[in-house]
């Protein structure tokens, strides 16, 4: 392994961590936005946004799995 590979891998891990944090922040923001709304409006927005929120959650989970794999690879 060259000297540049660990640095490149660390940069990738940092980008993945940033992406996970961004997705997490977006999901939290959506929940905070929806919470004070009237139930009928909240339910309509949840129906509209539900698929997108689920995609974001799946993306976050996938990125977290990739990050875990990279960490395991680093420790090997």
Instruction: Tell me the pLDDT band of 2, cut-offs 50, 70 and 90.
Output: low
- Chain-centre distance of CA 14, in angstroms? 13
Number of domains in the chain: 1
Using CA of residue 4, residue 6, residue 9, residue 10, what is the dihedral sign? Answer: negative
Give per-residue pLDDT as tens, 18-63: 999 999 999 999 999 999 999 999 999 999 999 999 999 999 999 9
For residue 5, pLDDT beyond 90: no
**What is the rounded CA–CA span in Å between residue 60 and residue 66?**
10
Please give the Cα distance from 30 to 10 (Å, whole number): 30
pLDDT at 7: 87
| Rounded-to-integer distance, Cα 65 and Cα 9, Å | 15
| Span 11-23, average pLDDT | 96
CA-based end-to-end distance of the chain = 13
Domain of 23 in residue numbering reads as 4-75
């Amino acid at each position: 392994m060259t000297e540049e590979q660990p640095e490149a891998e660390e940069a990738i891990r940092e980008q993945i961590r940033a992406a996970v944090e961004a997705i997490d922040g977006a999901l939290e923001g959506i929940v905070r936005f929806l919470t004070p709304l009237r139930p009928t409006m909240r339910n309509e927005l949840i129906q509209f946004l539900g698929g997108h929120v689920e995609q974001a959650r799946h993306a976050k989970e996938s990125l977290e799995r990739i990050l875990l794999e990279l960490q395991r690879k680093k420790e090997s």
